[in-house]
Amino acid sequence: MLGFTFRATILTKCVFRPREDEIEDKNLSKTQLKMTALNEAHRALGGRMIDFGGWDMPVQYPAGTIEEHMAVRTAAGIFDVSHMGEIEIEGPQALELVQHVTSNDASKLADGQIQYTGLTTPEGTFVDDILVHRFSADHYFLCVNASNTDKDFEWIRGHSAGYDTRLENVSSKYSQLAIQGPRAIEIVQTLTDVDLNSINYYWFTRGIVDQAPAIIARTGYTGEDGCEIYFDPAESERIWNRLLEAGKPHGLQPCGLAARNTLRLEAKMALYGNDIDETTTVLEADLGWICKLGKGDFIGRDALAAQKERGLTRKLVGFEVIDKGIARDHNPIYINGEQCGMVTSGSPGPYLKKNIGLAYLPIDQTAVGTRFEIDVRGRRLAAQVVPTPFYKRAK
């Protein structure tokens, strides 16, 4: 162990031994990290802050990642996800533009409904994976990955010529909190008159939360019930503290990015930059359900239709490590002695108490039960393809 670096992200390893690129990067990133309105609150709670894609965010609080993870599975957790970006598309042809740039069929949305979808390249790969909220037939609200916000906005703007719409990057106008877990809804309910139980999964409503106008969405990135609320950043600290207080008797735990990552992995939700990016198609990512080839033309449709016709050569699968040891992001995968892929996300699953991960494997090696080897820093660990999601909550 040598020389701690305090800025290892949840995706980069080696807390102790800084690599040269990290040291160099440190000088750059130290210049100006972006902060959410809750930065002080995280520090006051003892959150350990890291540079997450240019944002100064808590990776964990003193309780630790496992306790935070378990709180979400058994009680509730609260996450500051204000770094996420928001983009609004409004105008007579808003739907047409959304349809043009995304792979799912937004025409199926009703007012107040939400859809997970791909923002796709002409190759059918991901510019980003996003949530589309329909305010009304001519007004949509997109929640996008923090580090992709500017790229997404420019991408959509670049493809908006000829569509009668107005685009706005409204990211700085919103804080976003995710309250997740079996007790999440009853906790948030104490701060609002909106009947949260009447909001179905992947629907939202606009209402008042602790005196602040908010968007309350029944969504999340943990595999649990719960909601994500968007509101004016000026209200952040009060709402955060009120929720922590209201949640105390229910076992609510503030949770950092490390727990967010292990929770989403157990639920097999893709992480942009790891499991999906501009080199992986929607179909390869096993997200065929957000690829609606029949909805009409969209960017990437032809490539995806051709790929479907041809058949896939590789696919994202979930695996479990059989040997003792933990597979990590970027570990190479071997089948019959030949390298044929790498781990895109690998971690212990704290609730499942298994070491799990995701990887793209050759299509003939993707059946459940298929065995392969993972090179973990020189040690070859046996692993096998398992059914996903790894974790599914009881309804």
Question: How near is the Cβ of 184 to other proteins at its closest, in Å?
Answer: 22
325 lies in the site for other proteins, by CB under 8 A:
yes
Neighbours of 138 (CB within 10 A): 16
Task: For residue 187, give every residue at least 6 positions away whose Cβ sits within 8 Å of its Cβ, in sequence order, or none.
Answer: 76, 179, 243, 246, 247, 250, 252
How many residues of this chain bind other proteins (CB under 8 A)? 31
| Rounded Cα–Cα distance for residues 136 and 119 (Å) | 20
**CA atoms lying within 13 Å on the CB side of residue 305:** 11
> At residue 384, what are phi and psi to the nearest 5 degrees?
-145, 150
CB of 244: closest distance to other proteins in angstroms?
21
Q: What residue has token string 């509101």?
A: 231
User: In angstroms, what is the minimal distance from the CB of 164 to other proteins?
Assistant: 47
**Using the rule CB under 8 A, is 201 a contact of other proteins?**
no
310 touches other proteins by CB under 8 A: no
SS3 20: helix
Q: CB nearer to other proteins: give 13 or 139.
A: 13
Residue type, 165: T
Q: How far is the CB of 132 from other proteins (least distance, A)?
A: 31
Task: For 238-288, give the DSSP string.
Answer: HHHHHHHHHHGGGTEEE--HHHHHHHHHHTT---BTTTBSTTSBTTTTT-G
Q: Does 21 bind other proteins (CB under 8 A)?
A: no
Length of the chain: 395
The piece of 64-72, 169-177, 242-250, 380-388 that touches other proteins (CB under 8 A) is: 64-72
Pairing of strands 76-80, 252-254: parallel
Site for other proteins in 256-275 (CB under 8 A): 258, 261-262
Binding mask 350-389 for other proteins (x = CB under 8 A): x--------------------------x------------
By the rule CB under 8 A, 16 interacts with other proteins: yes
Q: Which of 36, 57, 58, 65 lies at the binding interface for other proteins (CB under 8 A)? A: 65
**End-to-end CA gap in the chain:** 45
Q: Is 60 in the site for other proteins (CB under 8 A)?
A: yes
- Single out the residue of 41, 49, 196, 227 in contact with other proteins (rule: CB under 8 A): 49
Give the residue, chosen from 33, 208, 312, 326, that forms a contact with other proteins under the rule CB under 8 A: 326
Distance of alpha carbon 364 from the chain centroid: 28
Residues that bind other proteins (CB under 8 A): 1-4, 6, 8, 10, 13-17, 49, 59-60, 64-67, 69, 258, 261-262, 324-326, 328, 347-348, 350, 377
